[in-house]
Amino acid sequence: MLPLWSLIRLHRQRLTAATFLLLAVFLLFVLRADSPGVLAFKGVLANLLGGMQRLVLSPVEATRAAGQRLQELGHLDEENLRLKRLLANVGPMQLQLDEALKENRRLRQILRMSVDPHYTYTVARVVGDSSSAFSRVLLVNAGAQEKVRPDTPAVSPAGVVGRVVAVGTRRSTVLTLHDINSRVPVQVQRSRLRAMVAGTNSSTLELRFVVKGGDILVGDLLITSGTGGVFPKGVGVARVTSLNPNADGLFMQATARALVDLDRLEELRLMLPVVDAEPLSEGEEATITDRTDLRPLGLLPEGTNTP
């Protein structure tokens, strides 16, 4: 009788075939697709393979995400640069627009000024300031071509600016109220008391020839009296700022502040006399003289409050 090992070696091919056959049968009947064992095995295998897949793909995904982030940052830098260029262009445009709007408002105020039939008007821009310790004069861009001549009144919506003292072809020099050589006959709007406003080369105006005991108060509005042959009657000039009735002599000491701020003045209106204007009738003249708001010739802007 042959030993067991010898039998196995003798019939090993048959035994191997039988083993694989039995294994196949076992797999067919035991390891079915819907069996719990197969499902559990598939789950373990899926988890194992999924973990390995994530482990393998993580560097790839990280590299891809980093590349996308760098690309997005590049686009953001380009967009940021484009916006900065746009903002650099918008800034000056916005500034120009603001200046145009402010100029438009100023010109509208000038156009809303009251009109005297004895004058025509031209709007001039202040193009130079020749003020010094000894004078207060402005240069405007209107001259002989615009029919400007010496002693042409210069006004703004706030009131009197001064008068023209020199005329060129396209430029004129305006002697302002503040110049030490400036003299403007005025009267108190409220009481009709007459006086003279004189420049001092400073922001303070001197009010001369105010009779002691005269009806004048601090804060009173001073308007042109119409005498002197330069300014029409009723143009706003200044407001009284101080009174000293104890001064020596017949007149009190008084000061005033101009209604016009020369430091901010950019445009003004030149009043050109109409040579052939018809004189006012007695009724019209009386109406102008008796008015308390003095706007027919006053050239005060509409809406200006007066005491």
Provide φ and ψ at 140, rounded to 5°. Answer: -120, 155
The pairing of beta strand 119-129 with beta strand 267-273: antiparallel
* Residue 237 identity (one-letter amino acid): V
| Per-residue pLDDT, 207 | 97
What are the structure tokens assigned to 232, written together?
Answer: 């029409």
- CB of 242 closer than 8 Å to CB of 250: no
For residue 179, give the nearest of 158, 160, 202 by alpha carbon.
202
pTM, to two decimals? 0.58
Whether 140 has a pLDDT exceeding 90, the answer reads: yes
* 248 to 207, 208, 218, 243: CA distances (angstroms): 15, 13, 20, 13
Whole-angstrom distance, CA of residue 202 vs CA of residue 176: 11
Pick the CATH number of 119-273 from 3.40.50.300, 1.10.760.10, 2.130.10.10, 2.40.10.340: 2.40.10.340
Mean pLDDT (whole number) for 72-76: 79
Is the four-CA dihedral 100, 235, 238, 179 of positive or negative sign? positive
Model confidence at 252: pLDDT above 60: yes
CA atoms within 13 A on the CB side of 176: 33
**Where do the domains of the chain lie?**
119-273
Q: How many helices (H) and strands (E) does the chain have?
A: 4, 12
How confident is the model at residue 172, as a pLDDT?
95
- pLDDT of 106 reads 65
Rounded Cα distance between 157 and 260, Å, is 8
Residue closest to 179 by CA, chosen among 154, 211, 148 = 154
Instruction: Find the range with the poorest average confidence among 80-89, 100-109, 126-135, 235-244.
Output: 100-109
Minimal CA–CA distance to 180: which of 137, 224, 219? 137
Residue closest to 263 by CA, chosen among 176, 194, 196: 176
**pLDDT over 80 (residue 237):** yes
